[in-house]
A and B are shown apart, each in its own frame.
Chain A
Amino acid sequence: MTGAQARYVVGRIAQALVIVVLTYTLVFAILYLLPGDPIASAVNDPQNPLPQDQVHVVLAYYNLDRSGLEQYLIAAGRALHGDFGYSLTTGQPVARMFGQALPHTASIAALAFLVAVVVAFGISVLATHGPTRGVRAIARAVPSVTLSVPSFLLALVVVQVFAFRLGWFSPVRDSGFKAVLWPALVLGVVVAPHVTQVFVQGVDRTQQMPFVLVLRAQGRSGYAIFLRVVKNAVLPTLTLFSLTAGELLAGSVIVEVIFNKNGIGQLTQDAVRGQDTPVILLVVLFVSTVFVTINLLTDLVYPWIDPRISLRQRTRDRRGSGRGGPQPASGDVTSSSGEREDERKMASAGVDHGA
C-alpha cells in the first residue's frame, strides 16, 4: 500500500467514526432532550414493572437533574467504557441484555447471508445461462415473485409445515443448528431478490459489452467467458450485499418473533414499545456502526476487484482534468488513469451546451 492509499484508508476510517459519533449524538438528543422526559415518565409510570427500590438507582444513575449537555457527556463517557446504562423496564445493564441478544441475531444473519448469496447466484445463473429459454424465463420471474412474498407469510408457512406438520424442528425449544437454519432460510430467501435482480442486470449488461464478443470470437470456452462476465457484473451487487448484511445484523423482528428467537430485532421491538431509551440508544449505535463498517469494507474491496478505481483521493496524472471515468462505487473513490486521452474526449463530448 502506498502512502496515498494509507492516507485514504485512514481518512475513510476517521470519516466512519465521525458518522457513528454523530448518529449517537443525534439519537441521544432526540431521546433525552425532547420535552416529556421519557426516563422519568417511564420509571414513574405505575404500570412499569420495575421494583421501587431500583427506580431510585436508575434515576440517580441518569443524573436527570443535570443539564442536557452534561447528561450527554456523562452518557458518552460511560459508553466509551462499555457502560450503556440500565434498562428502564428490567433494570438490567443494557450491555448485558444486548450481549444476550446478539448471538441469536448474528448466527441467523450469518447463515441467512450465506443463503442469500447462494440463492441469488443460483437464480442469476439460471436466469442468464439456463439451458432452455423456458428455464431462463422462469428464473427471471422468481425474484419478482419472492419479492412480493412478505417475510411473515413465508415464516408462518415454514413453521406450519416443517415444525408442526413434519416436526423437523421445534419452534419453541432451542434445538441448536436446526433452530438457526430455518429462520435463516426464510430471511435469506426474503432478502435475496434485490441482489438477484441487480446481478442479473449486471450480467445482461456485461454480456452486451464488446469484450465478450471478442472473447467469443477467439473461440474461448463458455465457462472461461462466464467467469469474466461474473467478475465484471459483480460490483453493483457487492454494494447491495453490504446493505443486506447490515439489514440482517440489525435483526428482523418478524422472523425472530415467529421463530421465538430473542435477538436484536426482538430486543428493539420490546425497547421501543416500553420506551426503554438506553436500549434504543445502544441498538442505534450498534446498527450505525455495522452499516458504516460494512460500507467501509465494501469501498476498500472495490479497487481490489476493479483496477479503474483507486484507493487514492487524488491521482498524480498531469493530463487528467475533470474526467468522468468509470465510477461504479461511491463518489469518494477516484478513477485512476494513466495514458488515456480518450476519456477527456468522452467527458467533453458528453457536456450539454445551453442553446
Chain B
Amino acid sequence: MSGTARPPAIDVRGLSLSYRDRRTHERRRVLDGVDLTLEAGTTHALVGQSGSGKSTLALAVTGLLPGNAAVEAGTIALQGKVPSRRELVVARRHVLGFVPQDPLSSLDPLQRVGRQLASLLRSRDRSLSRAAAKQRAVELLDQVEIERSAEKYDSYPHQLSGGQLQRVLIAMAISGDPDVLIADEPTSALDVTVQKVILDLLLRLRSSLGLAMLLITHDLALAGERSDAITVLEHGVVRDSGPTTDVLAAPSAAYTRRLLADVPALAPDRFRETGASSPVCERAGDDDPILTVRGLTKSYHDAAGGPNRVLRGVDLTVRRGSTHAIVGESGSGKTTIARILASLTPYDTGEVRFDGAPAAGGGIPIAGPRRLQLISQNPLAVLDPRMTVRQLLEEPLLIHTELTRRERRAEVTALLDRLDLPAELSGRRPKELSGGQRQRVAVGRAIVLAPEVLVLDEPTSALDVSVQANIVELLMDLKARHGLTYVFISHDLGLVRQVSDTVTVLSRGQVVESGLTHEVLARPTHHYTRTLVDSIPGLPHTTRKVLR
C-alpha cells in the first residue's frame, strides 16, 4: 500500500469473455469489459453471486480457462506484463498461489497429503532430495499452523477435517514463494468458526509474506471485513469498485445497495421493521408452548458398533407463533433434532410434547403431517425429478385430503400465487427451476396442508444471499399470514438474529445456551456462543450505521 513503484500484481483491462455451449454451440458472454486492479501487497475482494463470472475471472488470470472459453477482448497483466502462454505456466509455479473453493475434493484422495506437498516442491526444484522435500513440507505445514505436522504429513485427505485440508492447500499455495494469492471462495465450504480461523490465517500469511491477494467471495460482509478494495460483479459486469470503505459507505450502484441490504449480518432488524415478527414473542417462550423437548438423547451405532452420542439430553421449548432457532456447527446434532421432530428418526430417551400431548412412540408420529412439516436444505434432493411443479404441490393433497380434482387444482393455483411463483412454471420439473424457485416449491409442499409448525433445516444455506433474502421474506410473510410456528435450524447467526425470537445454541449434542435471540447474541454467556458470534463477518461499526 505504501507508494512504491511496484506495478499492480494483477491488472485486468476491459476483459470480455464468453463460453460456447457444448451442445447448442451458442456463445454466452460471462465477462463484459471487466477492469480490476490488484495492487501489490493488498487484498482485493471480488464479490458476486453465483453466475456472476467471478470464478471465471480467477481462471482467466491463472490461464486455466476450459477449452470452450474464448477471450474476446481485453488484457490481463501480471506484475506489469502480459504473459505469454509459456510464461503463464511458469507464473503458476512461482508467482500465483491458488487456494481453491472446496478443500474436501481439492487434494488427490489417493495420496498422503504430505507427499502431495513434497512432490509439488520437487516438481519445482528437481535437485531437491526426497528427504529435503519432506523436511520443507513439514515446515510449510507448521507455517500454516497444522498441529502435529509431522504426523499429519502421513494422513490421507479423508482423514483430515475441512479446515485442516484448507491449511494444506494454503501451504501448497505459498510453497512456491508466490507474489499473489488467488483465493476462490476459500471458506464457503467450511463451518463458520473454522471460516474465521482460516481467513485469519490467510490474511496473516498475506501480510507476513507481503503478498497481494485476490479474495473471491459471495459474502459482502466478509469482503468488507477483510479487504482493502472491492469489486462487485453482476452478470459479468462490474457494478461497483473502489476502496472497501468507500464502496460500503456509499455504494454507487443500486445492485451493491441491494446486496448490502440482503446480507443478514448487515441488516439485523430487517424483518422486525416489516412487522413480520410479532411483538408477543418478545417474552420468553415458556407459556403456551407448542413443542417441548426434555432430556432428548440419541445415539447412532458407528461402524465399530460403539455408540456415537449425537444428542446428550437436549431441552427445547418452542412457543406457539414464534420462531425458535437452533444454531450449531456441523456435527452438533441439529439435523438429528429436525428429523426427530418430523418423526423421521426415533429417539432413545427423553420426552417430546407437541401441543401438550406427549409423543406416543412406537412409530406414531410426534405430530402428523397436517400439523408439522420439515423443509430441508437441498430442495433438489427432496423433489421427485420426474414430477412437475403442479404434481409436486398437489401430491400432499392427494395423499392427505379428500379434495376433488378441481378443488386440488384451485388449491395449487392459489398456492403458486402465495409462493410468488409464476403460473407458467407449473409444468416444469425441478431441474428446470432456479435454486430459489425449487426451495419455493419445497416450501409450498410443506405448507399446502396448512400445518402449524414448520421445521426448517438450513432452508437457505444452498442459496445466494439475494435469493436467501427472498425466501426468508416469503417465510416471514407466510408466518405472519397463517400464524405459523418455525423451528429454524441454521449455522448462520446473522440470519438467526434476523428471523428468530428465541434461540438454542447446540454444541456436540448439548445445549450450551438458550433464551431470547437478541439477548443471547448481544451478551453470550457461554464461550462457544461467543466464538460463534465473533465468527459472523460484519462490518466496522461506522459503516454499519451508514446502512441503516
Chain B residues contacting A65 (CB-CB under 8 Å) are none
Interface of A is mostly: loop
Point out the residues of chain A lying under 8 angstroms from B143, CB to CB: none
Residues of B within 8 A of A336 (CB): 158
Do the beta carbons of A355 and B102 come within 8 Å of each other? no
Q: Kindly supply a per-residue 1/0 record for chain B positions 286-329, scoring 1 wherever the CB is within 8 Å of any chain A CB and 0 otherwise.
A: 00000000000000111111101010000000000000000000
Bound CA–CA A352/B305 (angstroms): 25
- The B-contacting residues of A in range 275-331, CB under 8 angstroms, are 305-308, 314-323, 326
Chain A residue contacts of B91, Cβ below 8 A: 219
- Determine the distance from Cα of A341 to Cα of B445 in the docked complex, in whole angstroms: 31
Q: Which of B161, B164, B330 has the most CB of A within 10 A?
A: B330
| 65-119 of chain B: CB within 8 A of chain A | 89-94, 96, 98, 100-102, 104-111, 119
Nearest CB on B from A106, distance (A): 33
Name the distance in Å between A248's Cβ and chain B's nearest Cβ: 28
B344 touches A214 (CB 8 A): no
B381: contacting residue among A316, A321, A350, CB under 8 A? A350
Q: Which of B478-504 contact A (CB under 8 A)?
A: none
The reply to whether B110 and A305 contact each other, CB–CB distance below 8 Å, is yes
Complex contacts, B158 vs chain A, CB 8 Å: 307-308, 326, 335-338, 340
CA separation between A215 and B106, bound complex, in Å?
Answer: 9
Give complex CA distance A339, B62 in Å: 33
Q: A216-B64, A321-B300 are in contact. Are A211 and B106 (CB under 8 A)?
A: yes
Is the beta-carbon distance between B107 and A315 smaller than 8 angstroms?
A: no
A218-B161 in contact given A209-B105, A305-B110, A321-B301 (Cβ < 8 Å) = no
Q: Does B446 contact A (CB under 8 A)?
A: yes
Cβ of A26 under 8 Å from chain B: no
Interface check B524, CB cutoff 8 A: no
Chain B residues with Cβ under 8 A from A221's Cβ? 123
Contact A232 B64 (CB under 8 A): no
Q: Quick one: given A214-B98, A321-B310, A355-B369, are A341 and B108 in contact (CB under 8 Å)?
A: no
Given known A-B contacts A320-B308, A353-B376, A210 and B331 have beta carbons under 8 A apart: no
A109 CB, min distance to chain B CBs, angstroms: 30
Q: CB within 8 Å of A: which of B343-401? A: 344, 369, 373-374, 376-378, 381-382, 396
CA distance A339 to B306 in the complex (A): 16
The answer to whether A355 touches B374 (Cβ under 8 A) is yes
Asked whether A219 and B382 contact (CB < 8 A) given A317-B304, A319-B308, A322-B300, the answer is no
A319 and B302 CA atoms in complex are apart in Å by 7
Pair B302/A317 contact, Cβ less than 8 Å: yes
B405 to chain A, nearest CB (A): 21
Known pairs A217-B64, A218-B92; A355 contacts B304 (CB<8 A): no
CB distance from A311 to the nearest CB of B (A): 13
Question: Of the candidates B93, B156, B304, B339, which one forms a contact with A308 in the assembled complex, judged by CB atoms under 8 Å apart?
Answer: B156
Question: Contact at A218–B373, with CB atoms within 8 Å?
Answer: no
- Does A129 touch B at the CB level, under 8 Å? no
Bound-complex Cα distance A323 to B303 (A): 8
B62, B108, B308, B376 — which one has the most chain A CB atoms within 10 A of its CB? B108
Among B89, B108, B335, point to the contact of A232 (Cβ < 8 A). Answer: B108
Sorting the interface of chain A by its residue count into under 10, 10 to 19, 20 to 34 or 35 or more gives: 35 or more
Of A218, A220, A315, A319, which is in contact with the most chain B CB atoms at under 10 Å from its CB?
A218
B156 in contact with A210 (CB, 8 Å): no
Q: Tell me if A354 counts as interface (CB < 8 A to partner B).
A: yes
Tell me the complex Cα distance, A350–B91, Å: 40
Q: Interface readout for A133-146 with B: 1 if CB under 8 Å, 0 if not?
A: 00000000000000
Question: Does any Cβ of A come within 8 Å of B172's Cβ?
Answer: yes
Question: B434 within 8 Å of A by Cβ?
Answer: no
- Asked if B222 lies at the interface with its beta carbon under 8 angstroms from chain A, I say no
Check: B50 CB closer than 8 A to any chain A CB: no
How many whole Å from A344's CB to the nearest CB in chain B?
Answer: 6
Report the separation of the CA atoms of residues A307 and B160 in the bound assembly, to the nearest whole angstrom: 13
Cβ of A224 within 8 Å of any chain B Cβ, yes or no, is yes
- B110 proximity list for chain A (CB < 8 A): 228, 231-232, 305-307
**Which residues between 406 and 454 of chain B lie within 8 Å of chain A, taking CB atoms?**
442, 445-446
A319 to B306, CA, bound (A): 9
Question: Closest CB of chain B to A238's CB: distance in Å?
Answer: 13
Check A318/B123 contact, CB under 8 A, given A218-B92, A339-B159, A353-B374: no
Bound complex: CA A336 to CA B306 (Å): 15
Tell me, yes or no, whether B224 is within 8 Å of chain A by CB: no
- Residue of chain A at shortest CB distance from B301: A321
Interchain CA distance A319-B330 in the complex, whole Å: 12
Distance between A131 CB and nearest chain B CB, rounded to angstroms: 14
> Which residues in chain A, 70-129, are within 8 Å of chain B measured between CB atoms?
none
Q: How far is the CA of A338 from the CA of B310 in the complex (A)?
A: 17
Contact partners of A219 in chain B: CB under 8 A? 89-94, 123
Once the chains are docked, how many angstroms separate the CA of A211 from the CA of B102?
9
Instruction: Tell me whether A211 and B155 are in contact in the complex, defined as CB-CB below 8 angstroms, given that A217-B62, A320-B304 are known contacts.
Output: no
Q: How far is the CB of B193 from chain A (nearest CB, A)?
A: 12
Check A355 against B169 for contact (C-beta < 8 Å).
Answer: no
| Complex: A319 Cα to B299 Cα, angstroms | 10
Q: Which residue of A lies closest to B377 (CB)?
A: A349
Compute how far the CA of A150 lies from the CA of B299 in the bound complex, rounded to whole angstroms.
56
Does residue B202 face the partner (Cβ distance < 8 Å to A)?
A: no
A322 to nearest B CB, angstroms? 6
Residues on B with C-beta less than 8 A from A173 are: none
Q: Is the CB of A339 within 8 A of B374?
A: no
**What is the bound-complex CA distance between A338 and B154, given in angstroms?**
13
A320, B108: Cβ atoms under 8 Å? Answer: no
Whether, in the assembled complex, B43 has its beta carbon less than 8 Å from a beta carbon of chain A, the answer is no
* A218 contacts B98, C-beta separation under 8 Å: yes
B176: which A residues are within 8 A, CB to CB?
218
A232: B residues at CB distance < 8 A: 108-110
Measured CB to CB, the residues of B under 8 A from A are 62, 64, 89-94, 96, 98, 100-102, 104-111, 119-120, 123, 155-156, 158-162, 164, 169, 172, 176, 300-306, 308, 310, 330-331, 335-336, 339, 342, 344, 369, 373-374, 376-378, 381-382, 396, 442, 445-446, 458
- 23 A-B pairs within 8 Å (CB atoms) are namely A214-B98, A214-B172, A217-B62, A218-B92, A218-B172, A218-B176, A219-B90, A224-B119, A228-B110, A308-B109, A314-B303, A314-B305, A315-B302, A316-B304, A318-B304, A326-B158, A339-B160, A349-B377, A351-B376, A353-B342, A355-B373, A355-B382, A355-B396
The 5 residue pairs across chains A and B that have the minimum distance between CB atoms: A338-B159, A219-B92, A321-B300, A219-B93, A217-B98
Residues of A participating in the B interface, judged by any CB pair closer than 8 Å: 209-211, 213-221, 224, 228, 231-232, 305-308, 314-323, 326, 334-342, 344-345, 348-355
